Amino acid sequence: MALIFFLIIAFAVAAGFLWTVQQMVFKGKWTYFIFFLTAFLPFYITSLSVVFLVTGSTLLVSFFQISKELIVLIAGLTFISYQKNLYTYPFRLQSTDWFMLLFISLAVIFLFLPIGEASFINKALYFKSMLIPSVVYFLGRNTHFEKLEFKRLFQIIFVVAISSFLMNLVENFLLGAHLQQFTGYALFNEEINGIEPSGNYNLTWTFETANAMKRLGSFYSDPLELASSVLLGFAAGLIWFLTSQKRHQWKYLLIMLCCIGSLIFASSRASFVAFFLMIFFVALVFKLYKLIGFGFLSLVVFVVFVVFFAPEDFYFFVVDTLTFADTSSIGHVVEWGLALDSMLTNPLGIGLAMSGNFGSVSDELRVGGENQFLIYGVQLGWIGMILYISTLLTGIRNSIFVFKNSDNLNLARIAFVAGTVKAGLLLPLFTANVEIYTYVSWISWWMVGVSINEYSRIKAVTHTNELVR
């Protein structure tokens, strides 16, 4: 079975990679890199695990690992090479652009200055994890898609969302176990990442609650990544539901229900709350007041399910969460305290690769690690954290502006998803290193980039009209 999975994965990734490169290099369609990332990133860790399980080759695993960065690099180089006159390229930087540039520039300074105890290699690897999303953002900033290309992108997102839920059903009702117990996930973590198997399911503690109830992750790296990623699928399904003809709306309602189902299987407290907050955010900001009723109804259904129908272990999982009796909740508070203490002691930061759950951060040097804002605050100081928060908030604000003011339906849809997903992720960012979840992080940053591109155009047109008057 593992061999069959390996052959399917190897063929799909190789074919997708080569087709994308061919489209970018020979046809100048460098924007197509986003199709490869959207289809590949959800399966990234599962692909690596299966490849290592079957071949035992770290070299082959390395190819799969770098394919996502390589496709972004090729896209960037192709974009530059296809500019007829790079020196006359118009730069109209908006607030989000400035904050992103300043954030990455600060990271560059920390990369080369002798700050922190991490090795230069580890700092460089950590810097790469910060640089690639920003490159994806700036590629999105220059993306111009046709209607059919936007439709294809959303179709991939929808297929991923439905597939995630179907795999959850297989895990829960057919396998009675996590998919990762069959893909070599624990072996890959131990041999490649140096992470010993842990927990009652011999994976990591992330795959279970404090009372050993299974938390399913589908084909993602863990349940937390699944829970964060379904926000992307739900937001995309929601905007297509709201902007499509009634005879097609049932399809997008089905996608949203699949996302809610995956969220339940993942059992992520922060993402549960983030989901409801996202619904209310959408309803208030975009004046879709019927969603408040939907959100309240969903909350009532959830409460009734927990009280009357949920298994006993899930019931106590919710109760322990609300009463902060869960060891995981206490662990978050402890990690926040350590991070804040470091930021107060070292307000200018202690260096890259010194906080967070990224692979290049060694356990003996790690300070904090379960809050994305504090992770950057520990490493880059208060300035770095403020720049990151400013990038997020201006990206959300400007995406909302585009949704309300763009005359292009597909760009408005992208802006809607960008704004709502980034707003929905604000709460999970407090309890996890969300930027390492490449699917939801990279794709949503690309969408923010596309939105800021349209924002810049709208501002330019508005300014021109004012001058004419």
Distances (CA, A) of 209 to 56, 111, 276, 320: 31, 37, 21, 10
Average pLDDT over residues 99-106: 98
Q: Show the tokens assigned to 203.
A: 């994976």
Average pLDDT over residues 79-98: 81
Average pLDDT over residues 426-453: 93
Residues 392 and 421: their CA atoms lie apart, in Å, by: 11
Kindly report, residue by residue over 138-161, the tens digit of the pLDDT: 999 999 999 999 999 999 999 999
pLDDT category of residue 295 using cuts at 50, 70 and 90 = low
Residues 70 and 67: their CA atoms lie apart, in Å, by: 5
What is the residue-wise DSSP string for 111-131? HHS--SSS-HHHHHHHHHHHH
pTM: 0.93
Residue 203's SS3 state is: strand
Q: Show the tokens assigned to 279.
A: 């619904």
309 has pLDDT over 80:
no
Residues 180 and 465: their CA atoms lie apart, in Å, by: 57
Residue 219's SS3 state is: coil
CA dihedral 329→443→97→394, nearest 10 degrees, is -50
First-to-last alpha carbon distance for the chain, in angstroms, is 69
pLDDT category of residue 209 using cuts at 50, 70 and 90 = confident
**In sequence order, what are the beta bridge partners of 208?**
214
Chain position carrying tokens 């809050």: 371
51 has pLDDT over 80:
yes
The pLDDT, as a whole number, for residue 362 is 85
Is residue 452 a contact partner of residue 189, using CB atoms and an 8 Å limit? no
Share of the chain above pLDDT 70, in %: 90
Q: Tell me how crowded residue 345 is: count the other CB atoms within 10 A of its CB.
A: 8
pLDDT category of residue 364 using cuts at 50, 70 and 90 = confident
**Greater model confidence, 387 or 304:** 387
Share of the chain above pLDDT 90, in %: 67
326 has pLDDT over 80:
no
Q: Show the tokens assigned to 136.
A: 């994806």
On average, the pLDDT of the chain sits at 89
Residue 198's region, left for phi above 0, alpha for psi from -120 to 50, else beta, is beta
Q: Residues near 390 by Cβ (< 8 Å), separated by ≥ 6?
A: 95, 99
338 has pLDDT over 60:
yes
Q: Show the tokens assigned to 424.
A: 């929905």
Average pLDDT over residues 393-399: 97
Is residue 171 a contact partner of residue 218, using CB atoms and an 8 Å limit? yes
**Greater model confidence, 159 or 195:** 159
Average pLDDT over residues 292-313: 72
Three-state secondary structure of the chain: CHHHHHHHHHHHHHHHHHHHHHHHHHHCCHHHHHHHHHHHHHHHHHHHHHHHHHHCCHHHHHHHHHHHHHHHHHHHHHHHHCCCCHHHCCCCCCHHHHHHHHHHHHHHHHHHCCCCCCCHHHHHHHHHHHHHHHHHHHHHHCCCCCHHHHHHHHHHHHHHHHHHHHHHHHHHHHHCCCHHHCCCHHHHHHHHHCCCCECCCCECHHHECCCCCECCCCCCCCHHHHHHHHHHHHHHHHHHHHCCCHHHHHHHHHHHHHHHHHHHHHCCHHHHHHHHHHHHHHHHHCCCCHHHHHHHHHHHHHHHHHHHHCCHHHHHHHHHHHCCCCHHHHHHHHHHHHHHHHHHHCCCCCCCCCCCCCCCCCCCCCCCCCCHHHHHHHHHHHHHHHHHHHHHHHHHHHHHHHHHHCCCHHHHHHHHHHHHHHHHCCCHHHHCCHHHCHHHHHHHHHHHHHHHHHHHHHHHHHHHHHHHC
The pLDDT, as a whole number, for residue 271 is 77
Residue 209's SS3 state is: coil
The pLDDT, as a whole number, for residue 357 is 81
Average pLDDT over residues 179-204: 91
228 has pLDDT over 70:
yes
